[in-house]
Amino acid sequence: MTDLTKMKIAEARDLMKAGELSSRELTEAHIAAVDAADSLNAYIVKTPEIALANADAADKKIKAGNQKGMTGIPVGIKDLFATKGVHTQACSHILDGFKPEYESTVTQNLWNDGAVMLGKLNMDEFAMGSSNETSYYGPVKNPWRATGSNNDFVPGGSSGGSVASVSGYAAMGATASDTGGSIRQPASFTGTFGMKPTYGRCSRYGMVAFASSLDQAGTITRDVRDGAIMLEAMAGFDPKDSTSVDIAVPNFEAALTGDIRGMKIGIPQEYHLAGMPGEIEALWHQGIEWMKAAGAEVVDINLPHTKYALPAYYIIAPAEASSNLARYDGVKYGLRDAPNGGNLDDMYYTTRASGFGDEVKRRIMIGTYVLSAGYYDAYYLKAQKVRQLIADDFKRAFEKVDAILTPTAPSAAFAFGEKSDDPLAMYLNDVFTVPASLAGLPGSSVPAGLSADGLPLGLQVLANAWDEETVLKISGVIEQAAAFSATPSEWWR
């Protein structure tokens, strides 16, 4: 019998439509797979009862002829999306015991379609990190190992649980969020397809806020078609989020025509970093050749302010985080750590001291510093101006090209502890993803090859705002050309 946990969303959808598969069967297989993947630490909460109830409802919906794209499909939900009555802590201790009274719009959209919830997924605390090592619930292990080695690697971050569940055959798709690269970089590290839509395409209502002007929901799936199907279900205007935009959601799957003849693909010269591993350059070059072979025109472009993107991001994101995280004070929700005989201030101090991890504290300190009187103009305001220049770079580029192709990350997955003592080395992971985040643009990471050690590597596709269809179309062509068929060894099962 075929292993149902290795099926793609599109295949399962079509089989369910034809009456050859039930969501119940599919869901039972996935509940078992979630248990079998315990050693990855991808799930921090499992919801098998909810999953089975969802599955039965989905089977009824399908029988009644009301099947939609995600009906009956088992998915994992990043712990940053509010799920009514179910653990939602953005993997922080400070939200200890928090079970929201409401559902995030993105997850509600999935449930309205009939999707099945397997549980909540591990992540870096408040989505701050690139390796999933900052989670209060411990690190997630990458299902992939280097050829001939039993050493564990990080899955990337912050959506480490999302990518490990999908590449570890413990979910058919997963929600994720991207503030500076948290969908694309972990997708690159795990041979999965990561899709971050335009800022404003998915509602942020009910997403635990990290940096509100950057946070955007998206998808992790096994291939491009599945990403198109899942994103279509999640996206859409929401009056409850003032930054969500009232633009019709296209049929994303229909964009996968495979035809990119005559399209112009830009290659930003500033992304050729000094000291970048040769295999990353080689993969990029391979991607360029695939574009040409598919009939696209490849042109060199310039994004001159690229080198200021990381510094600007690591001012703006912490600034917004310091403001957003001020709400966690032990009064309204989550952890309350009040010392005996202490006053209100003491409670604030001890709650925040014991509730936040080191990386979150670092961001809060940076954020309050760059927003403080006397430094605001020099840091925060300056970074905002640089952000505009970066957005203008892209604007000019998209007058000439339809899309931009780059590597997703400057390396393959790395070992635990390799970068966690050196924040700057960790922040460098985001060098290729952060500029598009600052500009609010849609982007993907497509599995495109393997490192010399046998670990997955991704290519990043970027397009103009609201042009997810171009991102998906080009991603589909890369997927076809790369014919990426490597799989992890399943040591965890």
Does position 155 interact with ligand GLN (CB under 6 A)? The reply is: no
| Choice between 121 and 128, CB closer to ligand GLN | 128
| Choice between 105 and 179, CB closer to ligand GLN | 179
Tokens of 302: 């310039």
Specify whether the CB–CB gap between 77 and 83 falls below 8 A.
Answer: yes
Closest distance of CB 316 from ligand GLN, Å: 10
Tokens of 154: 């990080």
Closest distance of CB 110 from ligand GLN, Å: 20
Does position 180 interact with ligand GLN (CB under 6 A)? The reply is: yes
Residue position matching structure tokens 């000439």: 400
| Choice between 7 and 208, CB closer to ligand GLN | 208
Question: Is residue 182 among the annotated active site residues?
Answer: yes
Among residues 181, 191, 410, 458, the one that binds ligand GLN under rule CB under 6 A:
181
**Mask for 39-78, x = binds ligand GLN (CB under 6 A):** ----------------------------------------
Q: How many CA atoms lie within 13 A of 132 on its CB side?
A: 39
Does position 129 interact with ligand GLN (CB under 6 A)? The reply is: yes
Stretch that binds ligand GLN, among 12-20, 179-187, 239-247, 263-271 (CB under 6 A): 179-187
Specify whether the CB–CB gap between 269 and 298 falls below 8 A.
Answer: no
**Mask for 183-212, x = binds ligand GLN (CB under 6 A):** ---------------------------x--
- CA separation (Å) from 451 to 18, 128, 189? 40, 26, 10
| Choice between 244 and 429, CB closer to ligand GLN | 429
- 43-46, strands of its sheet edge to edge: 43-46, 116-121, 74-78, 173-178, 216-221, 193-196, 443-450, 456-463, 403-407, 264-268, 297-301
Among residues 179, 221, 406, 445, the one that binds ligand GLN under rule CB under 6 A:
179
Phi and psi for 375 in degrees, rounded to 5?
Answer: -110, -15
Residue whose C-beta lies closest to ligand GLN: 182
Does position 479 interact with ligand GLN (CB under 6 A)? The reply is: no
Say which amino acid occupies 412: A
3-state SS, residue 88: coil
Does position 317 interact with ligand GLN (CB under 6 A)? The reply is: yes
Q: Distance between CA atoms of 460 and 353, rounded to whole angstroms?
A: 38
Stretch that binds ligand GLN, among 63-71, 107-115, 126-134, 248-256 (CB under 6 A): 126-134
3-state SS, residue 217: strand
Tokens of 299: 């042109």
What is the chain's Cα-based Rg?
21
Does position 130 interact with ligand GLN (CB under 6 A)? The reply is: yes
Stretch that binds ligand GLN, among 45-53, 67-75, 127-135, 229-237 (CB under 6 A): 127-135
Question: Is residue 411 among the annotated active site residues?
Answer: no
Q: How many CA atoms lie within 13 A of 351 on its CB side?
A: 24
Contacts of 203 (CB under 8 A, 6+ apart): 104, 105, 106, 217, 236, 237, 238, 240, 241, 244
Closest distance of CB 427 from ligand GLN, Å: 7
**Mask for 266-305, x = binds ligand GLN (CB under 6 A):** ----------------------------------------
Closest distance of CB 129 from ligand GLN, Å: 5
Q: How many other CB atoms are there within 10 angstroms of residue 297's CB atom?
A: 15
Catalytic residue among 46, 78, 141, 473: 78
Stretch that binds ligand GLN, among 45-53, 180-188, 247-255, 330-338 (CB under 6 A): 180-188
Closest distance of CB 62 from ligand GLN, Å: 35
Among residues 430, 467, 468, 469, the one that binds ligand GLN under rule CB under 6 A:
430
Specify whether the CB–CB gap between 127 and 139 falls below 8 A.
Answer: no
Q: Distance between CA atoms of 158 and 162, rounded to whole angstroms?
A: 9
Residues that bind ligand GLN (CB under 6 A): 127-130, 158, 178-182, 210, 317, 430
Catalytic residues: 78, 158, 182
